[in-house]
A and B are shown apart, each in its own frame.
Chain A
Amino acid sequence: MKIPFSYIFRNLWTRKLTTALTASGMALVVFVFAAVLMLDAGLKQTMGGTGSLDNVVAIRAGSETEIQSGVSRDQASLVESMPQVARNKDGKVMASKESLVLISLFKTGQDKGSNIVTRGVSPMGLTLRPQVKIKTGRMFKTGSSEIVVGRNVHADFDGTQIGQSIRFAQREWTIVGVFDAGGSAFDSEIWGDVTQLMQAFRRNGFSSIIVKLTNSDNYDSLVKDIKADVRLTLDAKREQIFYEDQSRALSTFISILGSVLSVIFSIGAIIGAAITMYSSVAMRTGEIGTLRALGFRRPSILVAFLSESLLLGLVGGLMGLFFATFLQAITISTLNFQSFSQLAFSFALTPKIVIQTILFSLLMGFIGGFLPAMRAARMKIVDSLRAA
């Protein structure tokens, strides 16, 4: 394109207030767009990081979550003994029979309780989840009424310091440690000894059983065997997939809400860009005529004004993206509809989101500036010179 870039850039720079206002409007839209994408990515990261592909979760057929499910002792033993289940070097089967309850704790600053997943795990439970590490304090002693809390529970809820205790099922449970589950859903849970929890709640059966596969490829055959056994009315899924599915409703909700908002907001930003560009074209009618007279062709004029609008979009996009990066410091803790319990996740900025955001802002600039640029290019030379 023959028209120099400095011409395009300086025209935006000359009308500082207008450029700033239009770019700010676009920046806000871009911020919301990026925020929603980041929130969904953060949710997926959290759920995706929860559980591995080598572990399989089995729950009662027809249940959607561990809370709703019940697995009898017999059923658990049967699953444990299947050939696809791995054993460690001491010959112990790598399976964790777990019992889940929801207890109500108060978030700091709220007077209403929120549901927290409390998971009774077998000794193998920690081994099966290598991403879970004790951060401060220590792991609970098997056979005791001790519990450990996830880092998000520790950060957001009252009464969760090491040494404090929580009362439920007519017992006091002492917190002896805080664990870090690498940003996964487990960070929003409390863990304790499965036998103790079941005793306290007078339970006879487990909620779920988690087993490690000898080989990731054994998944299909394990599922087949479980289905084939009529005594096992269980559904089995890879642990990671199981948790991803659990957040599907929340993820869909965020995506839909985000898409709708982005479309609506972008209309506002595009209109803003269009108004600005129409005014820009109107104010430089004489210049357009002069450029045409000098020999610059219509396409050059079109490209010049379109570039101005794209640049406006880009500036707005970079501004919005800049502020969006600060969101990464924020953690959202909210109710996961499907599991009916609290889930904490963060905003995650991925390279894909950066690219999507920039493209989005360029698109807004393009759409907003297209018609005004067309108007500029279609002007008749004599008319524009006369209007100057």
Chain B
Amino acid sequence: MSAQLANSPVLVEIKNLVKTYTRGDQDVPVLRDISLNILRGDFISLMGPSGSGKSTLLNLIAGIDKPTAGILRIDGEDISKLSEGDLADWRASNIGFIFQFYNLMPVLTAFENVELPLLLTNLNKSQRRERVHLTLNMVGLEDRMDHYPNELSGGQQQRVAIARAVVTDPTILVCDEPTGDLDKQSATDVLNMLKELNSALGKTIIMVTHDAHAAEAAKRMVHLEKGELIDEVN
């Protein structure tokens, strides 16, 4: 799991990105003309009041929603042109997800939850097992791998989620309010883990948050308001 030699430093190229929702016969613009470059190895936090479009932007970059107009190139590939099926495959290889409410499968053990993304690859059973052990070890939960999510604390569940997010060695880690449901200590642990993943393993991290404490962990801050980029702070 070593950092790739990049062809170009720009990993995510966003140009004139527009996203509009249609409610009945009303058009609701959520993102109006966003342009932004994210470099390989960046740790960027998207911030803004509710309704600013930060989550929408995150969803577009993660490939779980499609832009209405504009260019969205990730690692050289224009993902807005991909079919739904290809987009699913692309996500499986390139994106790791971390959600506010962990989004673990309640009927699967910690081990099985982390293994889930690997089922979409060609790895055999022992290869998968090896990777799962590795990542669970990395987040310090190897001794809890047979527990179900309802037997783990919030912080532990989020760490399992992190393990799941990195087990496929994705290019980008996408985090939507990762500390939103955690107490101060657990939040700090999670943020430290993200920092580690970014600095030691070179993972590009894009995080949506409105927690100032969380935003401090990032290297770069981007503000959105009413669907427009307001300013950038390094």
Contacts and interface: CB of A to CB of B under 8 A. Distances in A.
User: Which of B64, B84, B93 counts the most A-chain CB atoms under 10 A from its CB?
Assistant: B64
A4 B112 contact: yes
A296 B88 CA distance: 7
Contacts of B99: 290, 385
A290 B103 contact: yes
A331 interface: no
A289 B117 CA distance: 14
Interface in A3-39: 3-4, 6-7, 10-11, 13-14
Nearest to B119: A2
B105 interface: yes
Contact of B116 (A14, A289, A294, A298): A294
Interface residues of A, number: 25
Interface residues of B, number: 25
B107 A11 contact: yes
A238 interface: no
Nearest to A2: B119
A292 B84 CA distance: 10
Contacts, number: 67
Interface in B45-71: 59, 62, 64-65
B106 A297 contact: no
A294 B112 contact: no
Contact of B64 (A2, A7, A286, A293): A293
Instruction: Give the dominant DSSP class at B's interface.
Output: helix
Contacts of A3: 119
Nearest to B148: A10
Instruction: Give the dominant DSSP class at A's interface.
Output: helix
User: Which of B59, B92, B106, B116 counts the most A-chain CB atoms under 10 A from its CB?
Assistant: B116
Interface string A273-312: 0000000000000110111111111100000000000000
Given A6-B112, A382-B59, A292 B88 contact: yes
A302 B57 CA distance: 28
Nearest to B101: A388
A381 interface: yes
B158 to A, nearest CB: 14
Contacts of A290: 97, 99, 103, 105
A297 B85 contact: yes
Nearest to B165: A294
Contacts of A381: 59, 64-65
Contact of B92 (A7, A295, A382, A388): A295
Contacts of B108: 4, 6-7, 10
Contacts of B116: 4, 291, 294
User: Which of A290, A292, A296, A298 counts the most B-chain CB atoms under 10 A from its CB?
Assistant: A290
Interface of B: 59, 62, 64-65, 84-85, 88-89, 91-93, 95, 97, 99, 101, 103, 105-108, 112, 116-117, 119-120
Closest 4 A/B residue pairs (Cβ): A295-B92, A10-B107, A290-B103, A381-B64
